Amino acid sequence: MRRRSLRRRLIAAALILECGLVVGLSGATLVYLWREQIRGFDQMVRGRADSLLGQVRDAEDAADNVAIDAKALDLGGNDLWMARDVGGRTLAQSAGWSNEAGSAIGTAADPHDFQVQEATFRGLALRGVRTIDAEDGKPGIARPVTIFYGAALAPVYAAMARATVFLAVASLLLLLMTAGALALLLRRGLAPLEELSEAAAEMTPKHPRFDAPLSARETEELAVLAGALELATRRLEEAFVQQRVFVNDAAHELKTAVTIIKSSLQLLASRPRSTREYARGLETCMADCARMEELVQRMLQLARFEREPAGGGVECDVAEVARDVATQMERLAEIREVMVTVHAPDAAPTRLDEDACASLLANLLLNGVQHTPAGGSVMATIFVDAGITIEVRDTGRGIAPEDLPHLFERFWRGDDSRARSTGGAGLGLSICKAIVDSCGGAIAVSSRLGEGTCVTVRLPLVGSPEPARELSAVG
């Protein structure tokens, strides 16, 4: 896969935007300069035409009425001009004046462009009245005169060409300077991101912990990402630790079960035995195999609930499942002389599939029955309000306060009351928590030594968009 440099892309984007800005600004500047040049040029053309009008005077020749002395004026050598009186008589004209120029300039009083011999001129037709021989008390003689005047635009084009070259060179130099400045600033600006990526690249399966560099935490845009990465790696590290602990504990449990079976078989084969002894030994091995099979099944069940959600749009009636599980538990409760009762409403629908709900309630009731002495009781109570609350309360020995934080850990056995003979492999509450977490619920345990234990489960009610509220353990 081809890699793309974020720095280069940002520099290129910034330069493209800057080029657009420079082109737009240069274009606006050139338009402004062109208008100012034309405005000044028009004033010059009008001023020269007015100067010609001001030179109208009496002619020395008696046959003429008026004349123009153009030699007294400082006019452009290449300008085209002509003056004529009201009768159409030419009073004076420039050396380069021609009928083509007269036709091109027209009679428009406003300055405008026209072409003469492929050269562009700008000119106008100035109509004015020159008063001659005016004296004190006398108005003088009014002489109407029309001045046709045009000047070549070549100086304006030359000035605009120089301005264009200047703006192009200045813009190019500016782009080169800003490109270097952008590269430097972006390198410094992206340094926290590079440090963040380098810190992330140092993570390995053996060392999954990620500590964001200070520069990333102090950068507003990266602080959220750095915090999310740290939180994600913390969870990943916890998952790795839990996985290692689970594998180690599972291996230990399976090794113990295999060792017991092996020992039983070795003892059985150590000397010749009677048929009854062989049968008794095989029964012991079968019982140990059954315990190992149950351990494996519970491990697979726990892995399934942790991997797949127990809801997924499926719903069941917790009250009905609780009554069914209590019925299945009657035989065991009768053997252990423990009374099991269920108090539940007619219906309590929740977002949990029936198998998961049955596993949840079976584990809770089984724990209560196994840890309650003869003559005690286990009571399951179900409430329905904004959610579904399940309370499984027993009258057993209770749990020590220091053991409460570890109850949901896999293979945890806090005291002799949770030994293999009564408490199984220590996966029951871990399976319960996995089921509850998978549907957005909450679970907690409260207990007092000598008084009993109460497990409280909060499940979401069908149709409720809110997850179950958090529960806290009470010692």
CA–CA dist 44, 55 (Å, integer): 17
**Nearest residue to 379 (alpha-carbon basis) of 394, 360, 357:** 394
pLDDT on residue 178: 85
Q: Cα dihedral sign for 473, 355, 392, 423?
A: negative
Q: Residue 386 carries which DSSP code?
A: S
**DSSP β-bridge partners for residue 234:** none
In this prediction, the residues of the chain whose per-residue pLDDT falls under 70 are 1-3, 57-73, 132-140, 242, 245-246, 249, 252-253, 301, 305-313, 412-425, 463-475
**pLDDT, position 158:** 94
pLDDT given at position 299: 73
String of DSSP letters for 426-474: S-HHHHHHHHHHHTT-EEEEEEETTTEEEEEEEEEBTT--SPPPP---B
User: What is the C-alpha separation between 406 and 279, in angstroms, rounded?
Assistant: 41
Both tokens assigned to 167: 């703006």
Contact status, residue 390 vs residue 343, Cβ threshold 8 Å: no
- CATH for the stretch 6-161: 3.30.450
380 near 364, Cβ under 8 Å? yes
Q: Do residues 247 and 261 make contact, with C-beta atoms less than 8 angstroms apart?
A: no
Domains 6-161 and 308-460 share a fold: no
pLDDT score at 8 = 79
By three-state DSSP, how is residue 284 classified? helix
Strand order in the sheet with 452-460: 339-343, 377-384, 387-394, 452-460, 442-448
Nearest to 66 by CA among 138, 140, 144, 124: 144
Q: Tell me the pTM.
A: 0.49
Q: Where are the beta strands (DSSP E) in 262-402?
A: 316-317, 339-343, 349-350, 377-384, 387-394
Coil, strand or helix at 265: helix
Strands (E), 86-180: 90-93, 112-116, 119-132, 141-152
Give residue limits of the domains in the chain.
6-161, 203-247, 308-460
Which DSSP category does 415 fall into? S
The CATH T-level fold of domain 308-460 is Heat Shock Protein 90 (3.30.565)
Structure tokens, 33:
């300069």
Residues near 17 by beta carbon (within 8 Å), at least 6 away in sequence: none
